[in-house]
Structure 1
Amino acid sequence: MRWLITGAGGMLAGDVLDRLTRTGEPVLALGRAELDVRDRRAVREFVAAYRPGAVINCAGWTAVDDAETHEAEALAVNGHAVRWLAEACEGAGARLLQVSTDYVFDGAAAGPYGEDDPTGPLNAYGRTKLVGELAALDHGQYVVRTAWLYGARGTNFVRTMIRLAGERPSVDVVDDQRGQPTWAADLAGSLVGLARADLPPGVYHATSAGETSWHGFAREIFALLGADPERVRPVPTGDFPRPARRPANSVLACRKGEPIRHWREALHAAWPVLVGSRQCNVA
Structure 2
Amino acid sequence: MSIAFGKSLSVRETPIPGLVVLDLPVHGDARGWFKENWQREKMTAAGVDLPDFGPVQNNISFNDAVGTTRGIHAEPWDKYVSVATGRIFGAWVDLREGDSFGAVFTTELDPSTAIFVPRGVGNSYQTLEADTAYTYLVNDHWSPDATYTFLNLGDETAAIEWPIPLSQVEISAKDKAHPRLPDVIPMPPRKILVTGANGQLGRALRAEFGEHPWIEYATREDLDLTSVSLDTARRWRDYGTIINAAAYTNVDAAETPEGRTRAWAANVGAVAALARVASANGISLVHISSDYVFDGLKAEPYDESSAPSPLSVYGQTKAAGDAIASTIPRHYILRTSWVIGHGSNFVRTMASLAEKGVDPKVVDDQIGRLTFANDIASTIRHLITTDAPFGMYNVTASGDALSWYDVAREVFRLTGHDPDRVGKVSTEEYFADVRGPIAPRPRNSVLDLKRVQSVGVETPSSLEALALYLRA
TM normalised by structure 1 equals: 0.91
In structure 2, distance between residues paired with 1:50 and 1:232: 53
CA contact (8 A) 2:236 2:281 kept: no
1:28 and 2:227 matched: no
| SS class of match (2:439) | coil
Q: How many percent identity over aligned positions?
A: 38
Query: Could you say if the C-alpha distance between residues 204 and 102 of structure 1 is closer, same or farther in structure 2, counting changes exceeding 3 Å?
Result: same
CA contact (8 A) 1:104 1:120 kept: yes
The structure where strand makes up a greater share of residues is: 2
Question: Which stretch shows the higher mean deviation, 162-171 or 172-181?
Answer: 162-171
Task: Find runs of 4+ consecutive structure 1 residues off by over 6 angstroms.
Answer: none
Structure 1 counterpart of 2:290: 101
The structure where helix makes up a greater share of residues is: 1
Question: Which stretch shows the higher mean deviation, 95-104 or 164-173?
Answer: 164-173
Structure 2 counterpart of 1:48: 235
Structure 1 counterpart of 2:465: 266
In structure 2, distance between residues paired with 1:161 and 1:264: 15
Structure 2 counterpart of 1:38: 226
Which of 324, 328, 336 is the aligned partner of 1:146? 336
Structure 1 counterpart of 2:388: 199
Which of 244, 247, 254 is the aligned partner of 2:449? 254
| SS class of match (1:5) | strand
Query: Could you say if the C-alpha distance between residues 40 and 272 of structure 1 is closer, same or farther in structure 2, counting changes exceeding 3 Å?
Result: farther
CA contact (8 A) 2:367 2:402 kept: yes
Query: Could you say if the C-alpha distance between residues 109 and 64 of structure 1 is closer, same or farther in structure 2, counting changes exceeding 3 Å?
Result: same
In structure 1, distance between residues paired with 2:236 and 2:450: 36
Post-superposition Cα deviations, 1:216-251, rounded to whole Å, max 9, x if no partner, equal 001111011100000011111111226100000000
Structure 1 counterpart of 2:368: 179
Cα deviation, residue 47, structure 1 = 4.5
Query: Which consecutive unaligned segments of at least 5 residues does structure 1 have?
Result: 274-283
| SS class of match (1:209) | coil
Which of 119, 128, 132 is the aligned partner of 2:317? 128
CA RMSD after TM alignment: 1.5
| SS class of match (2:449) | coil
Cα deviation, residue 195, structure 1 = 1.9
Query: Could you say if the C-alpha distance between residues 98 and 40 of structure 1 is closer, same or farther in structure 2, counting changes exceeding 3 Å?
Result: farther
Post-superposition Cα deviations, 1:44-80, rounded to whole Å, max 9, x if no partner, equal 2234347221111010101000001121221110011
CA contact (8 A) 2:236 2:277 kept: no
| Residue-pair matches, total | 270
Query: Which consecutive unaligned segments of at least 5 residues does structure 2 have?
Result: 1-188, 432-436
In structure 2, distance between residues paired with 1:95 and 1:129: 19
Structure 1 counterpart of 2:81: none
Cα deviation, residue 39, structure 1 = 1.6
1:231 and 2:421 matched: yes
CA contact (8 A) 1:40 1:81 kept: no
One-letter amino acid matched to 2:235: A
Structure 2 counterpart of 1:222: 412
